[in-house]
């Protein structure tokens, strides 16, 4: 008997393990996480009682809020619209740069709408198994139809909605199959189903054209970076729970944060509060916001120790930028000059626009390039040679002049041509598959014009700094001594030197 038991013991253990694994698998399947459950939708249903964001928490995008309010009203009382023959849009696409409030607006809709709200990231459709993405799309729409009227929110739609067959070697079969299923499900809606799809993307240019046609995403809501009044409204929302000192002026702060998105403004308020906590303050004052703004724009101060020669070279480099920014009539006003290393930069010359810009003139762009070249020209004037410190300035100046000539027609020699020069293509090989818009001779002419204009702007910058050499020396001496100069400090130094030269 003992020998028989020893012979059957391995089989008994193997069967026990098999039954244990089978029981564990059954238990996981009953809890919705089984190994055969990968085709189920990953969409999360938001509950109104747990959704804390509302439309009152969204500021600075009033036109988008009006559009969304109309859609919410349609879901709540569809009879009012049907009586007039109106049909609810099948899809709404939220378009805008990162941080402008697309996902926040969707969370606010979840808190406002009295209908089931399903949210999912587009990347959650794709798995290692073939066909899983399409199966999850079918399951998600099936669940939404059961709870109609309902809302589905797909974040980062470009993860699966990119143009089919684009790029070198074709497209991604699994991603395209998932996209095809979304197209089929959206186009198969009936009016009485009342299921609306919301989607967000910051790359509408790469989306498949079939997604954007009427009947799929009927309506686009564009969210842009906020203007001054909108920034003040956004700041007012984010400082609700922040104890502010009397010297904090939100309108003035909004004027100094041109180009900030809603997410940037939220980060600004949080950084200011962290600064106040670090300094053991009971209120967040204007100085805390100044430090927070510098941290975001200029980067964190570094402890890099430069030798005296490098420190002097950095000072002259930044003073070259500063003098050009101060004197060029169309350049953005100078805000701060510092030779304290911030982020990846050895020194910083900060400029702040007077107001929001939506279009740019040729004179503004040329003055901007002169400011970029000011640092390099200052080094050439003082030391007779240039250093590697102007690498990023040259890169930005070249890219800007290329767009001016190739895309915006700002060249008498080339003429009013709008070519795809300087455009970035998101798909590998897409540029090779596009027809050539210009000949080799035209490409050579454009290259020559870019070089010619850059050389002319560099010469004008170098001549200007040579004429103001005494001011350059005085400003460099002051910044070497004090390390950081405000716009008022720079103006005082330059005016004194100018008066001394006249005298």
Of the listed ranges 18-27, 106-115, 231-240, the one predicted with least confidence: 18-27
Please determine, for residue 394, whether its predicted confidence score (pLDDT) is greater than 90.
Answer: yes
Residue-level pLDDT at 168 = 46
C-alpha 431/C-alpha 129 separation (Å) is 31
Residue from 477, 486, 98, 492 nearest 294 by CA:
486
Active site residues: 318
Residue-level pLDDT at 380 = 93
Please determine, for residue 171, whether its predicted confidence score (pLDDT) is greater than 80.
Answer: no
Residue written as token pair 């049909």? 87
C-alpha 169/C-alpha 303 separation (Å) is 48
Q: What is the edge-to-edge ordering of all strands in the sheet holding 348-351?
A: 348-351, 334-338, 484-486
Of the listed ranges 7-21, 180-194, 205-219, 424-438, the one predicted with least confidence: 424-438
Residue from 132, 129, 186 nearest 157 by CA:
186
Please determine, for residue 106, whether its predicted confidence score (pLDDT) is greater than 90.
Answer: no
C-alpha 464/C-alpha 371 separation (Å) is 11
pLDDT in tens, 477-495: 999 999 889 989 999 998 8
- The SS3 call for residue 32 is coil
Residue 357: CB atoms within 10 A of its CB come to: 12
Please determine, for residue 187, whether its predicted confidence score (pLDDT) is greater than 80.
Answer: no
C-alpha 339/C-alpha 484 separation (Å) is 7
Angle between helices 308-327 and 440-467 (to 10 degrees): 100
**CB–CB of 201/123 below 8 Å?**
no
Residue-level pLDDT at 498 = 83
CATH 3.40.50.300 spans which residues of the chain? 44-222
Residue-level pLDDT at 30 = 44
∠450-454-458 over CA atoms, to 5°? 175
Residue-level pLDDT at 181 = 82
pLDDT in tens, 26-61: 555 444 444 445 556 666 666 555 556 677 767 777
Between residues 173 and 255, which one has the greater pLDDT?
Answer: 255
C-alpha 268/C-alpha 272 separation (Å) is 6
CATH class of 308-502: mainly alpha
Please determine, for residue 436, whether its predicted confidence score (pLDDT) is greater than 70.
Answer: no
- The SS3 call for residue 284 is strand
The rounded mean pLDDT for the chain is 81
Provide the sign of the torsion angle of the four alpha carbons 319, 321, 322, 328, taken in this order. positive
CATH 1.10.8.60 spans which residues of the chain? 228-298
Residue-level pLDDT at 451 = 93
Average pLDDT over residues 231-254: 89
Of the listed ranges 132-146, 178-192, 294-308, the one predicted with least confidence: 178-192
CATH architecture for segment(s) 44-222? 3-Layer(aba) Sandwich (3.40)
Task: Please name the helix (run of DSSP H) or strand (run of DSSP E) that holds residue 385, with its range, or none.
Answer: none
Residue-level pLDDT at 41 = 60
Please determine, for residue 396, whether its predicted confidence score (pLDDT) is greater than 90.
Answer: yes
Beta-strand relationship, 195-201 and 334-338: unpaired
Residue-level pLDDT at 23 = 67
Residue-level pLDDT at 3 = 67
Please determine, for residue 356, whether its predicted confidence score (pLDDT) is greater than 90.
Answer: no
Average pLDDT over residues 324-353: 88
Residue-level pLDDT at 46 = 64
pLDDT band at 398 (very low <50, low <70, confident <90, very high): very high
* Chain length of the chain: 503
Residue-level pLDDT at 300 = 79
Pick the CATH number of 228-298 from 2.40.50.140, 1.10.8.60, 3.40.50.720, 3.40.50.300: 1.10.8.60
CATH 1.20.58.760 spans which residues of the chain? 308-502
pLDDT in tens, 123-166: 777 765 566 777 888 888 888 888 777 888 888 888 888 777 65
Residue-level pLDDT at 142 = 82
Residue-level pLDDT at 323 = 94
Residues 6+ apart with CB under 8 A from 254: 228, 229, 231, 232, 235
Residue-level pLDDT at 189 = 54
Q: What percent of the chain has pLDDT over 90?
A: 22
pTM of the model: 0.75
């Amino acid at each position: 008997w003992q020998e028989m038991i020893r012979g059957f013991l391995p089989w008994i253990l193997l069967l026990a393990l098999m039954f244990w694994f089978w029981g564990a698998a059954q238990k996981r399947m009953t809890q919705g996480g089984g190994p055969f459950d990968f085709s189920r939708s990953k969409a999360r249903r938001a509950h109104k009682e747990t959704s804390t964001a509302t439309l009152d928490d969204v500021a600075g995008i009033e036109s988008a809020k009006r559009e969304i309010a109309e859609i919410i009203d349609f879901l709540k009382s569809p009879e009012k619209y049907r009586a007039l023959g109106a049909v609810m849009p099948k899809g709404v696409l939220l378009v805008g740069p990162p941080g402008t409030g697309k996902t926040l607006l969707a969370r606010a809709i979840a808190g406002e709408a009295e209908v089931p709200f399903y949210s999912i990231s587009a990347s959650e459709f794709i798995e290692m198994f073939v066909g899983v993405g399409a199966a999850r799309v079918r399951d998600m729409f099936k669940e939404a139809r059961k709870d109609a009227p309902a809302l589905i929110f797909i974040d980062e739609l470009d993860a699966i909605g990119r143009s089919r067959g684009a790029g070198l070697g074709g497209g991604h079969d699994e991603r395209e199959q998932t996209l095809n299923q979304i197209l089929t499900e959206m186009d198969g809606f009936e009016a009485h189903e009342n299921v609306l799809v919301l989607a967000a993307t910051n790359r509408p240019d790469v989306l498949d054209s079939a997604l954007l046609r009427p009947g799929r995403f009927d309506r686009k809501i564009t969210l842009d970076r906020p203007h001054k009044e909108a920034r003040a409204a956004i700041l007012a929302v984010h400082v609700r729970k922040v104890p502010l000192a009397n010297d904090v002026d939100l309108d003035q702060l909004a004027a100094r944060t041109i180009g900030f998105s809603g997410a940037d403004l939220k980060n600004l308020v949080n950084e200011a509060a962290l600064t106040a906590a670090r300094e053991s303050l009971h209120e967040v004052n204007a100085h805390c916001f100044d430090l927070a703004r510098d941290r975001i724009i200029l980067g964190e101060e570094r402890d890099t120790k430069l030798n005296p020669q490098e420190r002097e070279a950095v000072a002259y480099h930044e003073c070259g930028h500063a003098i050009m920014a101060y004197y060029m009539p169309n350049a953005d006003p100078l805000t701060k000059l510092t030779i304290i290393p911030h982020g990846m930069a050895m020194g910083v010359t900060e400029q702040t626009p007077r107001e929001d810009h939506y279009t740019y003139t040729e004179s503004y762009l040329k003055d901007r390039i002169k400011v970029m070249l000011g640092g390099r020209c200052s080094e050439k004037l003082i030391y007779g040679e240039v250093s590697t410190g102007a690498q990023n300035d040259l890169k930005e100046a070249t890219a800007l002049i290329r767009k001016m000539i190739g895309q915006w027609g700002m060249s008498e020699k080339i003429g009013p041509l709008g070519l795809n020069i300087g455009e970035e293509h998101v798909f590998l090989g897409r540029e090779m598959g596009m027809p050539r818009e210009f000949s080799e001779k035209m490409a050579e002419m454009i290259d020559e014009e870019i070089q010619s204009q850059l050389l002319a702007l560099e010469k004008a910058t170098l001549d200007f700094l040579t004429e103001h050499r005494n001011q350059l020396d005085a400003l460099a001496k002051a910044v070497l001594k004090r390390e950081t100069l405000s716009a008022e400090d720079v103006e005082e130094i330059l005016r004194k030197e100018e008066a001394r030269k006249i005298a």
